[in-house]
């Protein structure tokens, strides 16, 4: 019954993570290597993520559709960088209905190619543009080293694919979606991501340039939590996605793609989790409030449960669970729901009945400091406000943690030390694929992003010492 | 621009269906044989179907999860009937990450086996039961003859999988889900399905018995629109899904599974569609109301658009679209939205502005008979009521059509005639796998279901003449 203590984060972060994902019943390993089962609690979290993103997509004019799982191998080969990037990771169907297939089918690792093919059929004139479609789908990438949510053979995501008449509109779309991801991460998941551009070596296979939101995990490693790509005319050329403009001239479209996956659940776990377990942001938590009734004797039970039922019914706009199990103790229940990261616990016992009060325990502030007693009267408003307080506090705490672990080393030696032990480096950088590769080899750190928010001015590149015009983040990453 | 007339239903039903699905932009053929792309309009319809079903599942205690796409080939072989039923239809992954796999993986055709494997890990005691999980997923069956929505290699569905402590509870669950499907079909899709049990030869591969909802299409053929299976202990035995009961004795669980797929979109199209195109039930229609502004001169435009905007804003609880395109005529727009089955059209022109009225045109009643003029005042309520009237009328019409084409033949000769030309046969039947097979061979008709609603008493079996205790439906089917 999950009573064992988690390995503390400080002792072994990776063990902590793996134990937590399974014990909190977010996900489990499947009997196929590297595949996961997302369990009901994890899927409920994903459904809340989906709702928040989907409503933002629809509010900005996007519609959903569904494109096939299988892609002819030849499609991938039409875009040179794309096939180079993805071919080592493919799952291939070679047999269908008992017979060998003439052309093998790949299981989609992403859908630019097959969607590009369909767009070339659907788009004729400038009146058909922009075409703004998203799909919620499963994709497969044959990864060798896998971890639940962070990197699995099959994962779940949304992938947006849009086509535009001009380069400017495509760039605007790419940035619009990045800002939707940023807004979602900060305001719903309390994950203070840094939006920026990927370097040439880190961009998506087939993109002109890629944007990313980068998050700092509890072990100070970076996690790429969502990406938005400007594909230029690369896929339009490869798949003849053309339109007649207002002057009746045939033009290639400009396309984009953008995605956020179940990996984001890993970001939530590692941004907020502590040694007791998950800490879920109230906006996304499947259960926002758990009520634990406390009583010893049967005559106490009726009185307590009457208040529990009334409080529960008053909290009808909130996702509430009453844990009325009789076979386990209140202490067991506290641990159970703390492990699962429920943001707020309400305890109601005989004393609370007598005093018309309720005991609150905040998940984001462990121990006594997070406990308070509030009147039963007005409980719906008290709880709603408390949930917003918790949500805001989680963002503040995560932002402080992040900022405390971002450093500006004075030279490359200090850079290496910081990367090794302390966190991220924020440094002046003169773009160079070679120098990036050297840093990666020497420190395992990668250029996470060139943040959109730039200080201006110029500085000395941390590696080459040459004059540089931008500051960037380097870090070890998931 | 889709201006071509559809082939009339009466001329060639199959051409009518194929043209309609594509011209209404519900779906399109994918570049992989037998696969489909569900286009945004079709997917929006599916999302509305999902919402209606999902809320019913959750209200009855079910939760969603996600199980892997890939299943080890050996899993399928653990349940004898199951593997026999599905092995001719499998897509098989033999290569992953560039290497031949030691054990080939099948792409799930359904998930009883892999879910059974996980349940055996998760279920220990009677306290873990019932386990009530559903997933929304894509599945693959390698069909040779495919048609959009009705039968495609990949399709989308929900599959519920539950485990119970007793046979009675499993049977209760199986019937509960059948009644949810029946309720959904009738009250949201206006499809008057007949719930019943499948015969031995038509049941799911691996089930003890299967239930179905059967719908009559516009060509009088039957379509199986959803199924619910009592799996007994077959999968529990094959996968060791066991629990300790209250006496600490190890018992096999009793399991069920039930599914409804994008095939249901085909049922909606073929239940309600007419020679002008789709007719969508208001409860599920992606666009419930289209407003077409009508004006010739610019001075008319402003006045008309002011009313259009006001009416639109009053209809804020309804899914409304304003078709304000200037490059096409109102007549073109009428055809456009009729083809797409929008339940109600509002026309607003200069005369309506002058008279404070609006012209309504019902999609379910074509021509003049379905037109009316109503005051602008109270338009929200008028429209809401009209949509309910349309919804109810669609169910009535479909039920009348169905009942008009169900016959009770006096002998097998008459049975054959009816099956060939007129519709379904409702007959006394003494169960016999052999006789069912003979009827299928001679008439192409299959036993669609043994309806739950039985007349009682006894009669003479339509085929064998022996005494029979149940009445059943026979029909040609999709």
Closest CA–CA distance from residue A348 to any residue of chain B (Å) = 25
Superfamily of domain A13-272: Bira Bifunctional Protein; Domain 2 (3.30.930.10)
Q: Which of B35, B94, B122 sits opposite A92 (nearest CB)?
A: B94
Positions of chain B with pLDDT under 70: 1-3
Q: Give the pLDDT of residue A80.
A: 87
Q: Please state, in angstroms and rounded to a whole number, the distance separating the CA atoms of residues A18 and A13.
A: 9
Q: Which residue of A has its CA nearest to B139?
A: A69
Contact A63 B44 (CB under 8 A): yes
Q: Give the pLDDT of residue B2.
A: 47
Q: Which two tokens stand for residue A297?
A: 């004797």
Contact A31 B72 (CB under 8 A): yes
Tell the residue number behind the tokens 């499948």, with chain if given: B198
Question: Element (H or E) spanning A257, and its range?
Answer: strand A254-261
Q: Could you count the other beta carbons within 10 Å of the beta carbon of residue B424?
A: 25
CATH number of B406-475: 3.30.110.30
Secondary structure (3-state) at A92:
strand
CA-based end-to-end distance of chain B? 31
Tell the residue number behind the tokens 């019913």, with chain if given: B56
Contact B31 A75 (CB under 8 A): yes
Which residues in chain B are closer than 8 Å to A133, comparing Cβ atoms? 40
Q: Any alpha helices (H) in B273-370, and if so which ranges?
A: 298-314, 330-339, 350-355
Q: Please state, in angstroms and rounded to a whole number, the distance separating the CA atoms of residues A108 and B51.
A: 27
Q: Which of A1, A2, A34, A65 to mutate to test the interface with B (most CBs of B within 10 A)?
A: A65
Q: Which of B66, B139, B319 to mutate to test the interface with A (most CBs of A within 10 A)?
A: B66
**Mind giving me the DSSP string for A283-345?**
TT-S-SEEEEE--SSHHHHHHHHHHHHHHHHHTTTS-EEE---SSS-HHHHHHHHHHTT-SEE
Q: Considering only CA atoms, give the Rg of chain B.
A: 25
Contact A68 B32 (CB under 8 A): yes
Positions of chain A with pLDDT under 50: 1-2
Which residues in chain A are closer than 8 Å to B72, comparing Cβ atoms? 31-32
For residue range B187-197, list pLDDT tens digits in order: 999 999 999 99
Q: Which of A28, A70, A144 sits opposite B35 (nearest CB)?
A: A70
Q: Please state, in angstroms and rounded to a whole number, the distance separating the CA atoms of residues B268 and B265.
A: 5
Q: Which of B45, B92, B102 to mutate to test the interface with A (most CBs of A within 10 A)?
A: B92
Q: Give the pLDDT of residue B3.
A: 60
Q: Which of A38, A44, A95 sits opposite B94 (nearest CB)?
A: A95
Q: Which of A44, A47, A96 sits opposite B91 (nearest CB)?
A: A96
Q: Which two tokens stand for residue B81?
A: 């009937």
Record the pTM: 0.97
Q: Please state, in angstroms and rounded to a whole number, the distance separating the CA atoms of residues A57 and B40.
A: 13
Closest CA–CA distance from residue A401 to any residue of chain B (Å) = 33
Q: Could you say which DSSP state residue A419 is in?
A: I
Of A181, A203, A202, A201, give the one whose Cα is nearest residue A192.
Answer: A181
Task: Decide: A23 and B109 in contact? Cβ < 8 Å.
Answer: no
Contact A154 B114 (CB under 8 A): no
Q: Is the dihedral of CA B55, B60, B66, B68 positive or negative?
A: negative
Of B160, B131, B165, B127, give the one whose Cα is nearest residue B252.
Answer: B165
Which residues in chain B are closer than 8 Å to A97, comparing Cβ atoms? 88-91, 142-144
Closest CA–CA distance from residue A101 to any residue of chain B (Å) = 10
Q: Please state, in angstroms and rounded to a whole number, the distance separating the CA atoms of residues A78 and B79.
A: 43
B205 forms bridges with which residues in the sheet?
A: none
Contact B65 A39 (CB under 8 A): yes
Q: Which of A35, A39, A64 sits opposite B70 (nearest CB)?
A: A35
User: How many CA atoms lie less than 13 Å away from B274 in the CB half-sphere?
Assistant: 16
Class of domain B23-272: alpha beta
Q: Which of B43, B67, B89 sits opposite A97 (nearest CB)?
A: B89
**For chains A and B, what is the number of CB pairs under 8 angstroms?**
166
Q: Which residue of A has its CA nearest to B141?
A: A97
Q: Which residue of A has its CA nearest to B26?
A: A65
Closest CA–CA distance from residue A134 to any residue of chain B (Å) = 9
Question: Element (H or E) spanning A364, and its range?
Answer: none
Q: Which two tokens stand for residue B267?
A: 């049922």
Q: Which residue of B has its CA nearest to A36?
A: B68
Q: Could you say which DSSP state residue B142 is in?
A: -
Strands (DSSP E) contained in B117-221 are: 131-140, 154-164, 194-197, 209-216
Superfamily of domain A289-386: Anticodon-binding domain (3.40.50.800)
Task: Decide: A185 and A193 in contact? Cβ < 8 Å.
Answer: yes
Closest CA–CA distance from residue B115 to any residue of chain A (Å) = 9
Contact B142 A64 (CB under 8 A): no
For residue range B465-474, list pLDDT tens digits in order: 999 999 999 9
**Torsion-angle region of residue B465: left (phi > 0), alpha (psi -120 to 50) or beta?**
left
Q: Which residue of B has its CA nearest to A28?
A: B118
User: How many CA atoms lie less than 13 Å away from B70 in the CB half-sphere?
Assistant: 30
The two beta strands, B131-140 and A131-140, are unpaired
Give the contacts of B36 (CB within 8 A, at least 6 positions apart): A68, B27, B28, B29, B30, B148, B149, B152, B154, B155
Contact A97 B72 (CB under 8 A): no
Closest CA–CA distance from residue B397 to any residue of chain A (Å) = 31
ipTM: 0.96
Which residues in chain A are closer than 8 Å to B142, comparing Cβ atoms? 96-98
Closest CA–CA distance from residue B355 to any residue of chain A (Å) = 35
Contact B154 A69 (CB under 8 A): yes
Q: Give the pLDDT of residue B4.
A: 78
The two beta strands, A320-322 and A289-293, are parallel
For chain B, give the mean pLDDT: 96
The residue extents of the domains of chain A are 13-272, 289-386, 406-475
Contact B69 A154 (CB under 8 A): yes
Which residues in chain A are closer than 8 Å to B105, comparing Cβ atoms? 32, 91
Contact A64 B71 (CB under 8 A): no
Which residues in chain B are closer than 8 Å to A140, comparing Cβ atoms? 69-70
Q: Which of B31, B41, B90, B112 to mutate to test the interface with A (most CBs of A within 10 A)?
A: B31
Closest CA–CA distance from residue B124 to any residue of chain A (Å) = 11
Which residues in chain A are closer than 8 Å to B107, comparing Cβ atoms? 69, 93, 107
Q: Please state, in angstroms and rounded to a whole number, the distance separating the CA atoms of residues B40 and A377.
A: 48
Which residues in chain A are closer than 8 Å to B66, comparing Cβ atoms? 37-38, 43, 46, 138, 156
Q: Could you say which DSSP state residue A151 is in?
A: B
Contact B66 A43 (CB under 8 A): yes
Give the contacts of B268 (CB within 8 A, at least 6 positions apart): B45, B189, B191, B280, B281, B284
Burial string for A426-449 (b: 16+ CB within 10 Å, else e) reads bbbbbbbeebbeebeeebebbbbb
Q: Which two tokens stand for residue B425?
A: 């046969």
**Mind giving me the DSSP string for B229-265?**
EE-TTHHHHHHT-EEE-TTS-EEE-EEEEEEEETHHH
Task: Decide: A273 and A341 in contact? Cβ < 8 Å.
Answer: yes
Which residues in chain A are closer than 8 Å to B97, comparing Cβ atoms? 88-91, 142, 144
B256 forms bridges with which residues in the sheet?
A: B162, B230
């Amino acid at each position: 019954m999950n009573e064992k203590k988690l390995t503390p984060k400080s002792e072994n972060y990776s063990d902590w993570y793996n134990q937590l994902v399974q014990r909190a019943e977010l996900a489990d390993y499947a009997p196929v290597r590297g595949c996961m089962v997302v369990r009901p609690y994890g899927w409920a979290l994903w459904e809340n993520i989906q709702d928040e993103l989907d409503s933002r997509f629809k509010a900005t004019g996007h519609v959903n559709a569904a494109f096939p799982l299988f892609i002819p191998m030849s499609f991938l080969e039409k875009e040179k960088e794309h096939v180079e990037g993805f071919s080592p990771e493919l799952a291939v169907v070679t047999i269908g209905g008992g017979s060998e297939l003439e052309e093998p089918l790949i299981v989609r690792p992403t859908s630019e190619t097959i969607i590009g093919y369909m767009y070339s059929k659907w788009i004729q004139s400038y009146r058909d543009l922009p075409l703004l479609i998203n799909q919620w789908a499963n994709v497969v990438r044959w990864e060798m080293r896998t971890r639940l949510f962070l990197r699995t053979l099959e994962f779940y995501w949304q992938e947006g694919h849009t086509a535009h008449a001009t380069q400017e509109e495509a760039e605007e779309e790419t940035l619009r979606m990045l800002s939707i991801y940023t807004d979602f991460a900060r305001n719903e998941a309390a994950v203070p991501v840094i939006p920026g551009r990927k370097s040439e070596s880190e961009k998506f296979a087939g993109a002109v340039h890629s944007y990313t939101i980068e998050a700092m995990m509890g072990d100070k490693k970076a996690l790429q939590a969502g990406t938005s790509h400007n594909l230029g005319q690369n896929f339009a050329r490869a798949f003849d996605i053309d339109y007649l403009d207002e002057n009746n001239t045939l033009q290639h479209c400009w396309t984009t793609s953008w995605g956020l996956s179940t990996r984001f659940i890993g970001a939530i776990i590692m941004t907020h989790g502590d040694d007791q377990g998950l800490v879920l942001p109230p906006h996304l938590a499947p259960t926002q409030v758990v009520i634990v009734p406390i009583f010893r004797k049967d005559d106490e039970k009726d009185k307590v449960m009457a208040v529990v039922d009334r409080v529960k019914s008053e909290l009808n706009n909130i996702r509430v669970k009453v844990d009325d199990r009789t076979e386990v103790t209140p202490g067991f229940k506290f641990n159970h729901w703390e492990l699962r990261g429920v943001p707020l616990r309400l305890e109601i016992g005989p004393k609370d009945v007598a005093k018309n009060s309720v005991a609150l325990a905040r998940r984001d502030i462990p121990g006594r400091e997070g406990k308070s007693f509030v009147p039963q009267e007005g409980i719906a408003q008290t709880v709603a406000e408390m949930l917003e307080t918790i949500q805001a506090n989680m963002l503040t705490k995560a932002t402080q943690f992040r900022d405390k672990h971002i450093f500006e080393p004075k030279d490359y030696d200090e850079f290496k030390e910081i990367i090794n032990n302390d966190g991220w480096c924020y440094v002046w950088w003169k773009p160079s694929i070679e120098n990036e590769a050297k840093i990666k080899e020497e420190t395992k750190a990668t250029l996470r992003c060139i943040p959109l928010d730039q200080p201006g001015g110029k500085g000395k590149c941390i590696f080459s010492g040459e004059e540089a015009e931008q500051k960037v983040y380097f870090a070890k990453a998931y």
